[in-house]
A = this chain, B = another copy of it.
Amino acid sequence: MSDSIQAATSSIDVALPTRARLADVATRAGVSVGTASKALSGSGRMRPETRTRVLQAADALGFSPNRHAQNLQAGRSWTVGLMTTDGIGRFSTPVLLGAEDALGAGKISVLLCDTRGDAIREQHHLSTLIERRVDGIIVTGRRTDARPPLAGVGSIPIVYAFSPSTDPRDASVVSDDAGGAGLAVEHLLGLGRVRIAHVTGPAHHAAAQDRAQRTLDLLADAGLAPATGRAHFGDWSEAWGRRATDAVLRAAPDVDAFFCGNDQIARGVADALRERGISVPDDVAIVGYDNWDAMALAARPPLTTVDMDLGEIGRIAALRLLAAIDAGEPRPGVETVPSRLIVRESA
């Protein structure tokens, strides 16, 4: 019955009301369904003539295989979940993009899940991903601080990107914050700066903590102390950068460089210095962090800054996930992605 309708519509070659199935292709090519499948997938052996006949039939019908059927039969979805815990912020976006890029190349599609930092939403998305039988999950967030691992995922491989898991047995890909700070400090030292101030974000942020620690260590290694004797913790804003500049200039009028925890702070510092008639970089050099174009390029002068290469973090996370999917289990451990120093005019 449905066959006769099928035959009728295809014989008059009209836009099919229903999408062409493999069976339609097979019929048109005069072969069995199994043979058609093998012809299209390139597996199995058959006369070249048969194969081309099937290919032509598929083409003529605009056949596109039903992935649901393929997935059901294969037991996998060729899909990974991308969970972001904070909307899609300034940090997670490049990570997502890098991951999407690497995965797309591998015939894998990306299911986007935004939890908005809400545990309920996270659990909801998680069960959705499980029902959909995703091949794996990439988890990313807004902060470099470690986050509790996803619970109840069974044996689905997971890779944490940017925000590592608190469980060291999980697979995480993170930025080398200490290394990034190292690049900045070495650069300033190489420029001959010796009175270096460090102004950064909240002390309870791992990013601020890690970068400050390495900064102080490296200065100590060079036989120096920070210009004001300590690191200045505040928030990640321009306003804090401006306020901190006042404090630093008061405590250490001979300061000759600022290394800032992000580009917003750095921009605040640059503004404050300019308004006091202090020349950047002649009198005081500035290095920022994040290489956030809208900030770093618009600052006067444009900022020398540290780029965490977030896209690369996403790409590597995706590659590790792909490997884990093939292997069955993720290789545990934290992998660190080096940062790059982008030199512009401020230092």
- Using a CB–CB cutoff of 8 Å, the interface residues on chain A facing chain B are 19, 64-69, 71-72, 77, 79, 82, 87-88, 93, 96-97, 100-101, 104, 109-114, 121, 124-125, 127-128, 130-133, 154, 237-239, 264, 267, 294-295, 298
Best-surrounded residue of A88, A238, A264 (most CB of chain B within 10 A) = A88
Interface pair A69/B67, CB less than 8 Å apart = no
Q: How far is the CA of A335 from the CA of B191 in the complex (A)?
A: 57
> A109-B132, A112-B110 are contacts. A298–B68 as well, Cβ < 8 Å?
no
Q: How far is the CB of A6 from chain B (nearest CB, A)?
A: 16
**Which chain B positions have C-beta within 8 A of A66?**
72, 131, 133
Which of B68, B87, B131, B298 has a CB less than 8 Å from the CB of A264?
B298
Chain B residues with CB under 8 Å of A131's CB are 64-67
- C-alpha gap A295/B239 in the complex (Å): 12
Instruction: Report Cα–Cα, A130/B209, bound state, in Å.
Output: 48
Provided the pairs A69-B72, A110-B112, A112-B110 are in contact, do residues A127 and B64 lie with their beta carbons within 8 angstroms?
yes
A295 to B264: give the CA distance in the assembly, Å. Answer: 10
Question: Which single member of B68, B110, B111, B238 contacts A71 (CB below 8 Å)?
Answer: B68
Contact of A294 among B68, B97, B110, B264 (CB under 8 A): B264
A318 to chain B, nearest CB (A): 13
The closest CB in chain B to the CB of A81 belongs to: B109
Q: What number of copies of this chain does the assembly contain? A: 2
User: Which chain B positions have C-beta within 8 A of A79?
Assistant: 111
Kindly state the separation between the CA atoms of A264 and B297 in the bound complex, as whole angstroms.
Answer: 12
Instruction: Specify which of B72, B111, B112 is in contact with A68 (CB 8 Å cutoff).
Output: B72
Once bound together, how far apart are the Cα atoms of A171 and B72, in whole Å? 33
How many angstroms between the C-alpha atoms of A87 and B298 in the bound complex?
Answer: 21
User: What B residues does A238 contact at CB under 8 A?
Assistant: 298
Closest 7 CB pairs of A and B: A68-B72, A68-B71, A112-B112, A238-B298, A110-B112, A67-B132, A67-B131
A211 to chain B, nearest CB (A): 20
Q: List 8 A-B contacts (CB under 8 A).
A: A65-B131, A68-B68, A68-B133, A87-B97, A101-B114, A109-B113, A111-B112, A239-B298
Give, as a whole number of angstroms, the nearest-CB distance from A150 to chain B: 15
B residues near A130, Cβ cutoff 8 Å:
64
* Contact (Cβ within 8 A) B114 A97: yes
Task: Tell me whether A298 and B111 are in contact in the complex, defined as CB-CB below 8 angstroms, given that A65-B131, A131-B64 are known contacts.
Answer: no
* Cα distance A110–B114 in the bound complex, in angstroms: 10
Assess whether B114 is in contact with A111, with CB atoms less than 8 Å apart.
Answer: no
Distance, CA A134 to CA B69, complexed state (A): 14
A75 nearest CB neighbor, chain B only: B68
In the bound complex, residues from chain B placing their C-beta under 8 Å from that of A65 are: 131
CB neighbours of A121 from chain B (8 A): 104
Q: Which residue of B lies closest to A239 (CB)?
A: B298
Q: What residues on B are CB-neighbors of A237 within 8 Å?
A: 298
- B109 close to A128 (CB less than 8 A): yes
Cβ–Cβ < 8 Å partners of A133 in chain B: 66-68
Q: Name the distance in Å between A98's Cβ and chain B's nearest Cβ.
A: 10
Determine the residue in chain B with the shortest Cβ distance to A275. Answer: B275
Complex alpha-carbon distance, A10 and B267, angstroms: 63
User: For A101, what are the chain B residues with a Cβ–Cβ distance below 8 Å?
Assistant: 114
